[in-house]
Amino acid sequence: MSRLAVTIGGVRLKNPVIAASGEHLIDDAGILSAIRAGAGAVVMKSANESAPAQRQLLQAEYAALDHRWNRLDWSGDTAADATLLTRSGLSPLGFDDWLAQAVRMDLEARKHDCLLVGSVVMAGIEGAVERARALEAAGIRVFEFNIGTPYASQAAKGAVSTELSPERVADLVGRITAAVDIPVWVKLSGQSERVSDLVAAALGAGAQSAVIAGRALGLVPDLDTMEPVLGTSCGIGGYWNLPLTCHWLAMTRARLGAGPALIGINGATDGHDVARMMLAGASAVGLSSAVMLRGWGVLSEAVATLDAYLAQKGLSAADLVGRAADSRRNFADMPVLDQVWRNHIPAPLARLD
């Protein structure tokens, strides 16, 4: 399967399917399942030093919704086009136990040519630096610095971070990259009209890759109870977010060029979606909600589907990166058409006398 291999900065992945961080990757059994399902990389459930952030897991709740915003059963048979609404939390493990887990899982990942990534959601920069150094000292090969959670405005103060200022992103990432020599991937928010600016700031401060773009906050009123589903504004995602992620991937590539390796997140549900994000400019793609909802087969099927697509096209995974983004044109550059808009409006109502 050499045609599936990609590189993120200086890091090789056997394939571009990443098992992205989520509650299903808290326990050893879950991490091992993702590794054995064939993911190119597995990102452990994030941790930090904040007690309120850890407590969020005990307050977490999840809902799958259909296209009419009705609750669906949470099961492996739930349709891929379900919308996921969640109040998420961090790993419940103390840092020493979480680090020991990372070391155990890294040993298993290496046996399967899989990259184990340690992830920290920033509560404070000093704590994030300390944990990055500890991961490096323990032999973990990549550090994910998550400063793009959707929850900062809703969580306890100082529990997690949603950084929206390029200047602050540059400062925070610079503190991390100055402290460690292992590659740093920075997970950034999608709750911004400046995602490309945030990426430029992170990469300019020494990050090897940016993971874009994190989920937004959403609120869904329940018509029966007349209260919010899950009681509040939650992180929201689903298949429908793929065009938004692809837009930011393409815009970022247009700004920064083909050199930086980007990781797409939010909206991919299968191997064809992985290909779509890669065509938009991603070198690898994370899947989380789809796996949490429908099971580990999502990962193995994504790898197989992507491989079959590449074989059909006679391409390697690396050949996909940015092809659609590089052919993207601005509105002003599109051809003038003959009243096409008239084909896309409803017929007039009959006259009522």
Residue 66's pLDDT is 95
Q: What is the band of 14 on the pLDDT scale with cuts at 50, 70, 90? A: very high
Q: What is the band of 159 on the pLDDT scale with cuts at 50, 70, 90? A: very low
Q: Give the C-alpha separation, 244 to 199, whole Å.
A: 16
Find where tokens 């899982």 sit.
105
pLDDT above 90 as % of the chain: 80
User: How far is Cα of residue 250 from the mean position of the Cα atoms in its chain?
Assistant: 16
Burial class (CB in 10 A: 0-12, 13-18, 19+), 204: middle
| Averaged pLDDT, 326-348 | 93
Q: What is the band of 45 on the pLDDT scale with cuts at 50, 70, 90? A: very high
Task: Tell me the average pLDDT of the chain.
Answer: 92
Look at 17-21, 86-90, 294-298 and tell me which has the smallest mean pLDDT.
Answer: 86-90
pLDDT above 70 as % of the chain: 94
The pair phi, psi for residue 215, each rounded to 5°, is -65, 160
Determine contact, residues 182/223, Cβ cutoff 8 Å.
Answer: no
Enumerate the domain spans of the chain: 2-344
Look at 145-159, 170-184, 297-311 and tell me which has the smallest mean pLDDT.
Answer: 145-159
Q: Cβ contacts of residue 160 below 8 Å, gap of 6+? A: 48, 50, 53, 90, 121, 122, 123, 149, 151, 152
- pLDDT tens for 106-118 read 999 999 999 999 9
Determine contact, residues 190/244, Cβ cutoff 8 Å.
Answer: yes
Give pTM, 2 decimals. Answer: 0.94
- Residue 143 pLDDT greater than 60, yes or no: yes
**Arch. (CATH architecture) of 2-344:** Alpha-Beta Barrel (3.20)
Burial class (CB in 10 A: 0-12, 13-18, 19+), 256: middle
List the end-to-end C-alpha distance of the chain, in Å, as a whole number: 70
Residue 23's pLDDT is 93
Look at 41-45, 125-129, 189-193 and tell me which has the smallest mean pLDDT.
Answer: 189-193
